[in-house]
């Protein structure tokens, strides 16, 4: 009602401006529209109908957009394969084969598990969450709304570190890999071997390779499962145990040297013989261990690649604790860069540049906050951190955690072929962003919302046309006399109809404009609060007003065309029913 009060003011300005024109129809129509008695109720109905139509379409667009945003954040990507248990090498090979059905699709292993942030473990049922993906492919892989100006590619670039070395290529199924070790004289030691292997896509898995004696002889590794082909060795764990004084003359105390050499048969060019790059390191894994002076060295020779390790062991201490060492080429950064959700910022007060002490399982990891995002993909409304899977894997391996940690795979392609291929592999649950969005938007509990909006849009159109009839017919007596006077002055019936049509349109078009503006304001203020999630709570992320500009223009334009058609019919009938004889016989 307040908005409609502006229309007479606008008409007065239009009449003043049109009065300077040399034409006849527009100045006269503007003056007549400004001076006519306005039917306030009918005018309010016209503006309200246009506002309702604009609001209904914008609400539907906002509602649909919110379902898409919720689905994108819940899944985190286009297609997610969630495993019932942490992945092994055979799982990675089957995923690679299935994802090959979509050339050009980006595939990334995902680590998704709870963590503790110092003393903060979150409320019951809402623990902080760690999500790690291939951050170098974040732009193509991740989905979810960010702040204006931010991109997932930019966030991923802040998380990515230098790519890890590829390791030592293994022969097919690990055939011919030998371990030779020797302890101090008089000892009887053995090593339980675990190899960390990496495939061509960067997926890593630990494979037990048997318990071998360190008696100075070469022994082939006893793989628990055939590793397959196309793999490289990136870490080797040796859990040392055995007797230190079972033979006469054996050393029973003090430091002693223990050496072990892993021989990997590979074809090496002559120029590469004797190389020692990339560097390997040998790390003790026990908090209180008998190991000191741990050294790892890589050599390429004509018979293969040699990984030599040497440690100083306190034999007296060793008899109680054993020793556990890890040779690895995967150097981890001192701090794992992460992007944190806004909920985490509010919960623990972290900000960009701060350090966080996190615990994944029983492994402590130092984190550095490099970015803040509204929500972490696949963790809507949760206290969560996003990390690079490669960097996180290297940090976990360096800390001695070799058990599988990959929980899922994400694919930047949700095509039917990819879904069918991954589903037929039988590895786990396949979820697509489009599928979740369809379930949210067209589920049995949600169908009432778009239906109600469609009904509102239809009723707004009907109300608008009825209001136009009221506006045009409200001043019928005055318009009839005006037409009769024009005819008496020599104007044709068509000119009189054009003048009357212009007068009505000069009144209806500002009303339509006011209604459209009011509908837009109502959409901004009200529409986001009418959108709810599938459980009735506030959706995550918060709804953002979305406009379908072609649709809005079509709705408003259709209403204006409808008003034009109705007005033309009514004014034509009025012009035909008001001959100049009305002035002679006194007909009003």
499 and 473 in a common domain: yes
Q: What is the pLDDT of residue 254?
A: 63
Average pLDDT over residues 473-484: 58
195 and 239 Cβ atoms separated by less than 8 Å: no
Distance CA 308, CA 584 (A): 121
The answer to whether residue 11 sits within a structural domain is yes
Give the whole-angstrom CA distance, residue 230 versus residue 539: 45
Q: Tell me how many domains the chain contains.
A: 3
pLDDT tens track for 160-184: 887 777 889 999 888 999 999 988 8
What's the burial of 241, exposed, middle or buried (CB within 10 Å: 0-12/13-18/19+)?
A: middle
Tell how many helices (H) and how many strands (E) occur in the chain: 16, 21
Mean pLDDT of 454-477: 79
Question: What is the Cα–Cα distance from 350 to 389, expressed in whole angstroms?
Answer: 22
Q: Which residue has the tokens 């694919």?
A: 411
Q: What is the reported pLDDT for 13?
A: 61
Tell me the C-alpha distance between 169 and 485, whole Å.
100
| Average model confidence (pLDDT) across the chain | 82
Q: How far is CA 207 from CA 20, 223, 226, in A?
A: 91, 7, 9
Q: Quick one: tokens of 464?
A: 């608008």
Are 302 and 273 within 8 A, CB to CB? yes
- Residue 170 has what pLDDT? 92
Contact indicator for 241, 192 with CB cutoff of 8 Å: yes
Of residues 313 and 238, more confidence is placed in 238
Q: 3-state class of 562 per DSSP?
A: helix
Mind listing the pLDDT tens digit for each residue in 528-551?
998 888 877 888 999 999 999 999
* Alpha carbon 70 to chain centroid, angstroms: 10
Give the pLDDT mean for 446-467.
83
Q: In 3-state terms, what secondary structure has residue 313? A: strand
Count of C-beta atoms within a 10 Å radius of residue 372: 17
Q: How far apart are CA 181 and CA 188, in angstroms?
A: 11
> Could you tell me the pLDDT band of residue 2, with boundaries at 50, 70 and 90?
confident
Domain boundary among 285, 310, 328: 328
β-bridge mates for residue 136, sequence order: none
**How many residues are recorded in the chain?**
588
- Tell me if 461 is assigned to some domain: yes
What span, in angstroms and rounded, lies between the C-alpha atoms of 395 and 365?
A: 7
Q: What confidence score (pLDDT) does residue 246 get?
A: 44
| Residue 90 counted as domain residue | no
- Asked if 211 and 316 sit in the same domain, the reply is yes
Question: Are residue 294 and residue 236 in the same domain, yes or no?
Answer: yes
pLDDT confidence bin for 587, thresholds 50/70/90: very low
Q: Are 239 and 188 in contact (CB under 8 A)?
A: no
Give domain status of residue 110, yes or no.
yes
Q: What is the pLDDT of residue 274?
A: 46
Same domain, residue pair 173 and 287: yes
Distance CA 30, CA 402 (A): 83
Mark whether 190 and 315 lie in a shared domain. Answer: yes
Tokens, residue 566: 């109705």
- Measure the CA–CA gap between 430 and 81, rounded to whole angstroms: 5
Residues 403 and 512 placed together within one structural domain of the fold: no
Q: Is residue 432 in some structural domain? A: no
With cut-offs at 50, 70 and 90, classify the pLDDT of residue 421.
confident
458 in the same domain as 559? yes
Residue 10 and residue 30 in one domain: yes
| Residue 270: per-residue pLDDT | 41
Confidence band of 588 (pLDDT split at 50, 70, 90): very low
pLDDT of residue 496: 60
Rounded alpha-carbon distances, angstroms, from residue 78 to 290, 295, 381, 387, 435: 50, 45, 19, 19, 10
Across 38-53, average pLDDT: 81
Q: What are the structure tokens assigned to 226, written together?
A: 């055939």
Tell me what pLDDT residue 98 has: 83
pLDDT of residue 105: 84
For strand 129-133 and strand 384-388, is the pairing parallel, antiparallel, or unpaired? parallel
Picking from 287, 302, 328, the residue at the C-terminal end of a domain is 328
Confidence of residue 19 (pLDDT cuts 50, 70, 90): low
Whether residue 215 sits in one domain with residue 133? no
Distance CA 501, CA 495 (A): 10
pTM: 0.80
User: Does residue 425 form part of some domain?
Assistant: no
> Does residue 93 sit within a domain?
no
Same domain, 210 and 289: yes
pLDDT tens readout for residues 117-156? 888 877 777 889 999 999 999 999 999 999 999 999 999 9
- Whether residue 173 lies inside any domain: the answer is yes
pLDDT at residue 251, rounded to an integer: 46
Per-residue H/E/C for 404-462? CCCCEEEECCCCHHHHHHHHHHCCCEEEEHHHHHHHHHHCCCCCHHHHHHHHHHHHHHH
Same domain, 160 and 172: no
Domain residue limits at 353 = 106-164+333-411
Torsion of CA 564, 565, 568, 572, to 10 degrees: -170
Of 286, 304, 328, the residue that ends a domain is 328
Peptide bond between residue 278 and the one before it cis (omega within 30 degrees of 0) = yes
Q: Which 8-state DSSP code applies to residue 515? A: H
Phi, psi of 190, deg, nearest 5: -140, 165
Do both 468 and 581 map to the same domain?
Answer: yes
Region 458-466: mean pLDDT is 88
């Amino acid at each position: 009602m307040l908005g409609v009060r502006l229309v007479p003011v606008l008409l007065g300005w239009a009449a003043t401006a049109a009065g300077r024109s040399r034409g006849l129809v527009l100045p006269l129509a503007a003056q007549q529209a400004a001076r006519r008695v306005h039917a306030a109720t009918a005018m309010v109905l016209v503006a309200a109908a246009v506002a309702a139509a604009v609001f209904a379409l914008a609400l539907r667009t906002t509602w649909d957009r919110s379902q898409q945003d919720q689905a994108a954040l819940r899944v985190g990507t286009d297609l997610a394969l969630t495993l019932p248990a942490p992945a092994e090498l055979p799982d990675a090979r089957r995923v690679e084969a299935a994802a090959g059905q979509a050339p050009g699709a980006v595939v990334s292993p995902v680590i998704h598990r709870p963590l503790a942030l110092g003393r903060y473990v979150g409320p019951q049922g809402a623990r902080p969450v760690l999500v790690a993906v291939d951050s170098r492919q974040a732009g193509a892989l991740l989905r979810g709304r960010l702040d204006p100006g931010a991109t997932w590619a930019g966030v991923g670039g802040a998380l990515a570190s230098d790519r890890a070395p590829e390791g030592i290529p293994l022969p097919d199924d690990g055939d011919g890999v030998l371990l030779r070790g020797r302890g101090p004289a008089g000892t009887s030691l053995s090593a339980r071997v675990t190899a960390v292997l990496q495939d061509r896509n960067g997926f890593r898995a630990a494979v037990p390779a048997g318990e071998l004696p360190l008696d100075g002889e070469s022994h082939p590794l006893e793989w628990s499962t055939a590793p397959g082909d196309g793999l490289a060795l990136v870490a080797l764990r040796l859990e040392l145990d055995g007797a230190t004084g079972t033979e006469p003359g054996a050393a029973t105390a003090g430091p002693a040297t223990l050496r072990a050499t892993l021989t990997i048969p590979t074809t090496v060019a002559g120029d590469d013989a004797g190389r020692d790059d990339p560097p390997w390191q040998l790390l003790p894994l026990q908090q209180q261990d008998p190991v000191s002076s741990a050294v790892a060295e890589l050599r390429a020779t004509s018979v293969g690649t040699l990984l030599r390790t040497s440690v100083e062991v306190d034999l007296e201490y060793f008899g109680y604790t054993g020793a556990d060492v890890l040779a690895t080429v995967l150097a981890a950064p001192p701090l794992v860069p992460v992007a944190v959700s806004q909920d985490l910022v509010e919960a623990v007060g972290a900000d960009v540049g701060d350090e966080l002490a996190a615990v994944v399982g029983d492994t402590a990891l130092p984190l550095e906050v490099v970015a803040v995002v509204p929500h972490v993909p696949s963790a809507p409304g949760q206290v969560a951190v996003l990390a690079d899977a490669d960097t996180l894997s290297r940090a976990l391996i360096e800390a001695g955690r070799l058990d599988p940690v990959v929980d899922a795979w994400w694919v930047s392609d949700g095509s039917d072929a990819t879904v069918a291929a991954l589903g037929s592999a039988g590895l786990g649950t396949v979820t697509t962003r489009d599928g979740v969005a369809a379930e949210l938007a067209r589920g049995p509990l949600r169908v009432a919302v778009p239906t109600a909006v469609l009904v509102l849009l239809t009723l707004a159109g009907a109300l608008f046309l009825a209001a136009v009839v009221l506006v045009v017919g409200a001043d019928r007596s005055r318009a009839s006399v005006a037409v009769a006077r024009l005819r008496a002055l020599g104007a044709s019936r068509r000119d009189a109809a054009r003048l009357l049509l212009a007068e009505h349109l000069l009144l209806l078009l500002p009303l339509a404009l006011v209604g459209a503006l009011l509908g837009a304001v109502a959409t901004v203020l009200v529409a986001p609060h009418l959108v709810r999630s599938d459980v009735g709570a506030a959706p995550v992320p918060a709804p953002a007003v979305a406009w379908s500009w072609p649709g809005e223009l079509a709705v408003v334009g259709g209403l204006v065309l409808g008003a034009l058609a109705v007005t033309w019919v009514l004014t034509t009938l009025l012009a035909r029913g008001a001959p100049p004889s009305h002035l002679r016989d006194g007909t009003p």
